[in-house]
Amino acid sequence: MIAYIVRRLVSLIPVMLIVGVVVFGLVHLTPGDPAGVILGDRATAEDVDRLRDQLGLNDPLPVQFINWISGVVRLDFGESVFLGEPVTQALLDRVVPTTLLTFYALIIQLAIGIPLGVFAAVNRGSLVDRALTAVAISGAAIPTFFLGIMLILVFGVKLQWLPAIGYVQPTEDFSAHFVRMLMPAFSLGFSSAGLLARMVRSSMLDVLQDDYIRTAFAKGLARRRVVVGHALRNAFIPAITVIGTSIAALLGGAVVTETVFTIPGMGRLVVQSIARRDYPIIQGAVMVIALAYVLVNLVVDILYVYADPRIRVG
């Protein structure tokens, strides 16, 4: 097991190096001089020079890269051009809303996806099963930002049951925080819930045909105990990979959802930084989210191997 984890960690090094090259290269994709682009047309040549210096653009490219990547390893992404504070500080201030939003969306995904998948598999072919499949397919096709807008329109504007937008810190007033996160978390988690439900359903159908399920029924166990205690426990293992990939999707989707609901997280910061041409912020945020994504997938893979010892050999 430990050998597996070490092997996986080592295999991350080239991937993260490429991630670093891509993120570093982003600034140099800009047509023309990045410093000039950041400051706009009205900047003086002096200002542009000073910014070039601050961004280290006067050094040769390999030196720039080494400087940048050695900063990244120390979690130092440089100074924000617009906010006038270190990028790391700006990101730290915004990491909590993003993490919470992703976490709530994940809970919603699990709370909807697993029961629906089990229920559909147990009642295979029924009207409910077909309706659930239809909902799952539609869920995958609805863009999260459109779902978010529709929720705001119905529950925020027309019915006025929930506050339409905004964010309250959980430490400040938890119930206000919770109420404001309901719609964002639902709009983000819903589409992944459909995918999870389909996955749980198909692996439940596989498992339900196994001999030990027949044995469990034959020895007179209650239907509920067979389904939950025997079948779901085994059917859940393949679903773990789907949860891993969807946490990643949720992280990406959070970028858009934060903008729809004006939640002050990292995604909203990235989107605001586009117009401000605040490249250090964009680089830092993208780097951090990519790292989080890679680590989440690593943890999920380890859990998967832990849950299903057969994989360890291969």
Partner 1 sequence: MGSSSSKTISAGLAIAESDRKVDPASSKTGTRSAWFRRLLANPVTVISLIVIGIAVIMALFAPLIAPQSPTFADPFVRLQGPSVDHLLGTDDLGRDVFSRLVYGARISLIIGIGVTVAAGILGSIFGLVAGYVDVLDPYIMRTMDGLMAFPSILLAIAIMASLGPSTFNVFLALTVVYTPTIARLVRSTTLVIRQQPYVESARVVGMSDSHIMGKYIFPNGLSPLIVQCTFVVAFAIISEASLSFLGAGVPPQQPTWGNMLRDGQSLMQQAWWMAVFPGTVLFVMVLAMNLVGDGLRDVLDPRSQQR
Q: Which residues bind partner 1 (CB under 8 A)?
A: 14-19, 21-23, 26-27, 29-31, 137-138, 140-147, 149-150, 152-153, 157, 187-188, 191-192, 195, 198-199, 202, 205, 241-242, 245-246, 248-253, 255-257, 259-260, 267, 270-271, 273-275, 277, 279, 282-283, 286, 289-290, 293-294
Select 28 or 223, whichever has its Cβ closest to partner 1. Answer: 28
Select 251 or 305, whichever has its Cβ closest to partner 1. Answer: 251
- What's the residue count for the chain? 314
Residue 216, C-beta contacts closer than 8 angstroms, at least 6 positions apart: 225, 226, 230
To the nearest whole angstrom, how small is the minimum distance from the Cβ of residue 23 to partner 1?
Answer: 7
Select 162 or 221, whichever has its Cβ closest to partner 1. Answer: 162
To the nearest whole angstrom, how small is the minimum distance from the Cβ of residue 171 to partner 1?
Answer: 28
To the nearest whole angstrom, how small is the minimum distance from the Cβ of residue 144 to partner 1?
Answer: 3
To the nearest whole angstrom, how small is the minimum distance from the Cβ of residue 313 to partner 1?
Answer: 17
Token pair for 185: 């978390």
What is the chain written as a DSSP string? Answer: -HHHHHHHHHHHHHHHHHHHHHHHHHHHHSSS-HHHHHH-TT--HHHHHHHHHHHTTTS-HHHHHHHHHHHHHTT---B-TTT-SBHHHHHHHHHHHHHHHHHHHHHHHHHHHHHHHHHHHHTTTSHHHHHHHHHHHHHHHS-HHHHHHHHIIIIIIIS--S--S----TTT-HHHHHHHHHHHHHHHHHHHHHHHHHHHHHHHHHHHTSHHHHHHHHTT--HHHIIIIIIIHHHHHHHHHHHHHHHHHHHHHHHHHHHHTT--SHHHHHHHHHHHT-HHHHHHHHHHHHHHHHHHHHHHHHHHHHH-THHHH-
Select 23 or 231, whichever has its Cβ closest to partner 1. Answer: 23
To the nearest whole angstrom, how small is the minimum distance from the Cβ of residue 12 to partner 1?
Answer: 9
How far apart (Å, rounded) are the C-alpha atoms in residues 260 and 178?
17
Select 170 or 264, whichever has its Cβ closest to partner 1. Answer: 264
To the nearest whole angstrom, how small is the minimum distance from the Cβ of residue 280 to partner 1?
Answer: 12
Select 116 or 248, whichever has its Cβ closest to partner 1. Answer: 248
How far apart (Å, rounded) are the C-alpha atoms in residues 253 and 102?
9
Select 122 or 188, whichever has its Cβ closest to partner 1. Answer: 188
To the nearest whole angstrom, how small is the minimum distance from the Cβ of residue 105 to partner 1?
Answer: 10
Select 165 or 221, whichever has its Cβ closest to partner 1. Answer: 165
Q: Are 251 and 289 in contact (CB under 8 A)?
A: yes
To the nearest whole angstrom, how small is the minimum distance from the Cβ of residue 31 to partner 1?
Answer: 7
